[in-house]
Amino acid sequence: MPCTPRPVVRLKICMLDPLFYPYFGGTEKVVLEVGSRLVKNHGYEVQVLTSMIPQAKGVARESIQGLDVIRTPSFYMEKMPSFIPPPFTISPLLDRDLRSKCAEADLFHVHNRFWYFPLTYLRIRRRQGKRLMLTIHNARPRGISPRVDYWGGLYDEILGRYIFAACDRINCVSEATLNDTIPVKERSKATVVYNGVDTKRFRPGLDVTELRRKLGVGSGPVVLSNGRLVEQKGFPFLIDAMAKVRERFKDAHLVIIGRGPLKDELLKQSASLGVAESVHFVTGIPEEQIPLYYDLADVFALASFYEPSAVVLYEALGCGKAIVATSVGGNPEIVSQECGFIVPPRDSHALAERVMQLLSDDGLRKACERASRERATRLFDWDVIAKAWDESYRTVL
């Protein structure tokens, strides 16, 4: 008698991410890239419960790359105290939507511990009786500024410990994030799952002739950086370093992708150092064009003071770039010594020296480029990362 095949059980995950597409930061990119692959490659049903933001233009529910995106009514605030990076949302009907629209989920996966109150976690566990996972995208703040470090640390001491205790599993985006953030008694349920990159999109060899003309960088060497123009990204030190690089490489240019409150200060700094004509700030780039900017660069530089697991480093690896990054957070885990150099934070001299070393040594730079591409495809492709998420979910369930 023939055996009746077992029905395929589709696991249903509800991800809580306070900001989501069309807002597109690092965490949002991770949720979209991995979530869509969980649906396509691993047979999951994935909901994303997020805030209603102005960019969504009132669309309360839609499908995005296979994800069921649900936006709960929210207050949207762009002006916040310095220790809370904007934008920030408050969603008074979040618990209602958790119960009414996400009740069938097998597991709830939270993507920002600073947004949700401990009571939300407890309601998921006790009232709904569901499994709960947390990804730590932002490590405990250290080295950003006294105010940010104090308030972020206080949050983890007072509220974070209850949140960590409520979760069945905690994924951290780097070893540094795990060690800096998770209390020792909770580490048995914590593991590392890195961020990643689409190595089919972010790849070397794209034609950047038109982009060079558009930016006006000529044929000279280009240093690229990518990040919000905020204190923790260390851009003043990168511009200081660029002034030193220009003394040796007269036709070098620095291209910075990003927007933020420090732009005017950075423009003034560039002018005072005499490098204003060689420092280019770029915003509003369509997502599909971002790989072109990486391919334009001879060196990718990241001068941050705090960086749990920078998505931009994975993108630079995917495009096969030689990298100079600071020795903070997850940077040394992402950028191996074969891919470039790790330098101390707040040290513009060391940053400049390593950038100039890569620009002056074609053999070294090309070896770094090959190693970066190989590392991206082997360890950090989104398909690899999605498989790690799948294993985490099945471990819990």
Tens of pLDDT along 47-102? 999 999 999 999 999 999 999 999 999 999 887 666 566 788 889 999 899 989 99
- What's the CATH superfamily of 12-196+381-396? Glycogen Phosphorylase B; (3.40.50.2000)
Q: What is the pLDDT of residues 362-396, one digit of tens each?
A: 999 999 999 999 999 999 999 999 999 999 999 98
Class of domain 209-380: alpha beta
Does 202 or 99 have the greater pLDDT score? 202
Q: Is 242 left (phi over 0), alpha (psi -120 to 50) or beta?
A: alpha
What residue spans define the domains of the chain?
A: 12-196+381-396, 209-380
Residue 18 has pLDDT above 60, yes or no: yes
pLDDT of residue 19: 93
C-beta of residue 15 within 8 angstroms of C-beta of residue 47 = yes
Q: Which residues, in sequence order, are bridge partners of residue 222?
A: 253
Residue 7 has pLDDT above 50, yes or no: no
pLDDT of residue 81: 65
pLDDT of residue 6: 45
C-beta of residue 327 within 8 angstroms of C-beta of residue 342 = yes
Mean pLDDT value across residues 15-19: 94
Domains 12-196+381-396 and 209-380 share a fold: yes
Rounded CA separation 133/388 (Å)? 14
- End-to-end, the C-alpha distance of the chain in Å comes to 33
pLDDT of residue 3: 55
DSSP SS3 for 5: coil
Average pLDDT in the chain: 92
Residue 5 has pLDDT above 60, yes or no: no
This prediction has a pTM of 0.90
The most distant pair of C-alpha atoms in the chain lies apart, rounded to whole Å, by: 85
Give the sheet arrangement for strand 222-226, strand by strand.
Answer: 279-282, 253-257, 222-226, 299-302, 322-326, 340-343
pLDDT of residue 345: 96
Rounded CA separation 159/115 (Å)? 11
Does 31 or 147 have the greater pLDDT score? 31
Rounded CA separation 110/385 (Å)? 17
Percent of the chain past pLDDT 70, that is, above it, reads: 95
Mean pLDDT value across residues 173-195: 95
Percent of the chain past pLDDT 90, that is, above it, reads: 76
Pure H helices in the chain: 26-42, 94-101, 118-122, 146-155, 161-166, 175-181, 209-215, 235-248, 263-272, 290-296, 311-318, 331-334, 348-360, 362-375, 382-396
Rounded CA separation 387/72 (Å)? 29
Rounded CA separation 367/37 (Å)? 31
Q: What is the pLDDT of residues 270-296, one digit of tens each?
A: 999 999 999 999 998 988 999 999 999
Residue 246 has pLDDT above 70, yes or no: yes
